[in-house]
Amino acid sequence: MQTLELKQILDAKQVLGMKMSELSSAKTRREDIAIEKTSEEMDAIQQSADRILALDSMTRRWETQTLVSEALQRIENNTYGICSDCEEAISPKRLAALPWAKFCIACQDARDTATAEMRWTDAA
Ligand SMILES: [Zn+2]
């Protein structure tokens, strides 16, 4: 059921390796998340918004880094391109666009929907 060509796996490996070093070299600026004292209330609001953004991008980077390293692991284990949920092949087109994709489109959609619903429940 191997639908990926060796060339695509090698390309993916290269892209993943580059992404990995890009992510690990990006430093989080300390001042972005440091809590600063301020007398102005507007400043405080702005700063906390900035802090949320900084934390958000840090979380996203960490998540991507995890996905990238897992994808590299799957290449080593010869399971690259296989959905981690239903174990069907992930389409080569999807992998070309997102080399660290862990799930096929159907499983990813199901997860995104579940996550969105969870967020709504949290907000309520
Ligand atoms: Zn799947």
Output the CA 40–ligand 1 centroid distance in Å. 50
pLDDT of residue 2: 52
Cα(76) to centroid(ligand 1), Å: 20
Q: Is the pLDDT of residue 43 over 70?
A: yes
From ligand 1's centre to the CA of 102, what distance in Å? Answer: 9
- Ligand 1 centroid–CA 103 distance in Å is 5
CA 115 to ligand 1 center in whole angstroms: 16
- Over the chain, what is the mean pLDDT? 87
User: What one-character-per-residue DSSP string does 47-103 give?
Assistant: HHHHHHHHHHHHHHHHHHHHHHHHHHHHHHTT-TTB-TTT-PBPPHHHHHH-TT--S
pLDDT > 70: what percent of the chain? Answer: 84
Gap from CA of 34 to ligand 1 centroid (Å): 40
As a whole number of angstroms, the distance between CA 44 and CA 46 comes to 5
**All domains of the chain, ordered by start, with CATH?**
6-123 (1.20.120.910)
Decide: 71 and 12 in contact? Cβ < 8 Å: yes
Going by pLDDT thresholds of 50, 70 and 90, the confidence category of residue 33 is low
Measure 52 CA to ligand 1 centroid, in angstroms: 32
